[in-house]
Structure 1
Amino acid sequence: MAEREDVIVFDGVCVLCSRWVDFVLRHDHAGRFRLAAMQGTHGRRLLQAHGLSADDPASFLLVHDGRGHTDTDAIAHVLREFGGRWRVAASLLLATPRLCRDPAYRWIARHRYRLFGRRASCRLPEPAQSWRFLD
């Protein structure tokens, strides 16, 4: 297990969010990021602690060193930790003014079910990856 872990809170029934989780699992070779569905106990508690609606957050949450990051800043932080080309992608994302990138992110987040679909139940981890999930 990683020495220092960050927690990503995601929407467990959102198809796009589940794909993001798959992406994280595929690229986080160090096992730094733990994952918590917003529908679970840990996810709800973290969302509420960082001022986000636990019933329908407009963003996923990254908790790093006890501090919450949302929207494109959270995505960039995660990508930066993967290193290599993902660090470059994070730099390009952050080079785009927040005034442009965050409203685009929030629009997608608000319409995520209509655009990408919704599962009937939360995504379940593969047995080999279950240690990465908090609930």
Structure 2
Amino acid sequence: MTHTAALIKSQKIILFDAQCKLCSAWCNFIIAHDPQAMFKLCSVQSPKGQQILMHFCYSTTDFASMVYIENAQAFIQSHAFFEVIKQLGYPWKLSGMFSVLPNRFNNWLYDKIASNRYTLFGKYHYCRIPSKQDQAHYL
């Protein structure tokens, strides 16, 4: 078994675009509401992130969606969001009730936000370095 295969079987991994300010805010939210660090954050631009993307045959250059991996299964678009949010505590997991809306609508909304995220929220020209206290949340 490869290192990547072992990693995706044993961790709950959130792959995110480290240059995206919205994505970085999402990571800050996860860190604030996941005190046990059950989710491991990983930048899609990092070597580990690139290996995981390749493992699932996702693009390593076009980062159109967050990717959430649990038990070696990858979730993208709104499915990734809902899989993560339902595991957070109250009241956040209540937003999971929107997952009952049609997938087509949820993914359309996700894609609209994702495709305009740099325009709406901005873009970093560098990747963040986690602080010492946040390192437990990263791969």
Pairing 1:11–2:17 present: yes
Structure 1: unaligned runs, 5 residues or longer: none
| Alignment check: 8 A CA contact 2:33 2:89 kept | no
Retained in 1: the 8 A contact 2:68–2:74? yes
User: What letter corresponds to residue 83 of structure 1 in structure 2?
Assistant: G
Report the TM-score when normalising by structure 1: 0.90
TM alignment of 1:121-132, pairs within 5 A? 121-132=126-137
Give the corresponding residue for 1:28: 34
Q: Within 1, Cα distance between the matches of 2:57 and 2:109?
A: 21
Letter in 1 for 2:114: A
Counterpart of 1:119?
Answer: 124
Alignment partner, residue 85 of structure 1: 91
**Aligned with 1:122: secondary structure?**
coil
Q: How high is the sequence identity, in percent, across the aligned residues? A: 28
Q: Which runs of 5+ in 2 are unaligned?
A: 1-9
Partner of 1:54: 60
Between the aligned partners of 1:49 and 1:93, the Cα distance in structure 2 is: 30
Q: Of residues 45, 49, 66 in structure 1, which corresponds to 2:72?
A: 66
**C-alpha displacement of 1:87:** 2.1
Give the match for residue 42 of structure 1.
Answer: 48
CA distance in 1, matches of 2:50, 2:13: 12
In structure 1, give the amino acid aligned to 2:89.
G
Q: How far has the Cα of 1:51 moved from its partner? A: 2.5
SS at match of 1:7: strand
Q: Following superposition, which runs of at least 4 residues in structure 1 exceed 3 angstroms of deviation?
A: none
1:98 maps to 2:103:
yes
Quote the RMSD (CA, aligned, Å).
1.2
Equivalent pairs counted in the alignment come to 130
SS in 1 for 2:75: strand
Task: Please say which of residues 39-48 and 12-21 is displaced more in the overlay.
Answer: 39-48
* Residue identity opposite 1:106 in structure 2: D
